Amino acid sequence: MAWNITIISKDKIYDPNSIKLEREVFDIFNKKVNSRYAISYIIEGDFSEEEIKKIAENLIVDPIIEDYFISYGDEDMKLSNIMRASRITIKYKKGVLNPNDEITFINLKRIIGERLKGLYTIHTYYIEGASEKDLENIANKILANRLLHEVKIEHD
């Protein structure tokens, strides 16, 4: 199993991914939606919860503008306390290299050591004001490339 560190901005003004998505949805589909973005770092290795908390607080999270949640398991967290919304979850398919994940993995391994066995990210967009068809269009035309990404859509 792996540890999951999920990060979300404390305030939407610090959430450029959500702001960009809302603008693109309006520009392409002429539809107004409300969104929030969360990124989950899935960290594989033999770490205690206290060690994962230190990794999050000292290496990954900016505590001034971000909140984080830790769970044990490799699935993305549902942050229903942030907003009641539909979700689009995106991660790279197995075998597809994500250069950002690779760079993060290499740098964390230099600091943490050989106990770090793997790292990948899951990107989750919480979206209000979109139908199921809208969510499919947003996922396929704005957020994901189906050749590279696994996409999971949950309509609320």
- Burial-class residue 64 by CB neighbours within 10 Å (0-12, 13-18, 19+): exposed
**How many structural domains comprise the chain?**
1
Residue 73 has what pLDDT?
77
Domain that holds residue 96: 2-154
Q: Cα–Cα distance between 118 and 101 in angstroms, integer? A: 10
Residue with tokens 């230099």: 110
Provide the terminal-to-terminal Cα distance of the chain, rounded to the nearest Å.
28
Q: Which two tokens stand for residue 141?
A: 């035309």
Residue type (1 letter), 155: H
Query: In the sheet where 86-92 sits, what is the strand order?
Result: 66-72, 2-9, 34-45, 116-128, 86-92, 149-154
Which pLDDT tens digits describe the chain residue by residue (156 residues)? 799 999 999 999 999 999 999 999 999 999 999 999 999 999 999 999 999 999 999 999 999 999 999 999 766 566 655 667 899 999 999 999 999 999 999 999 999 999 999 999 999 999 999 999 999 999 999 999 999 999 999 998
CATH number at residue 33: 3.30.1280.10
Run of H or E including 4: strand 2-9
Burial environment of residue 18 by CB neighbours within 10 A (0 to 12, 13 to 18, 19 or more): buried
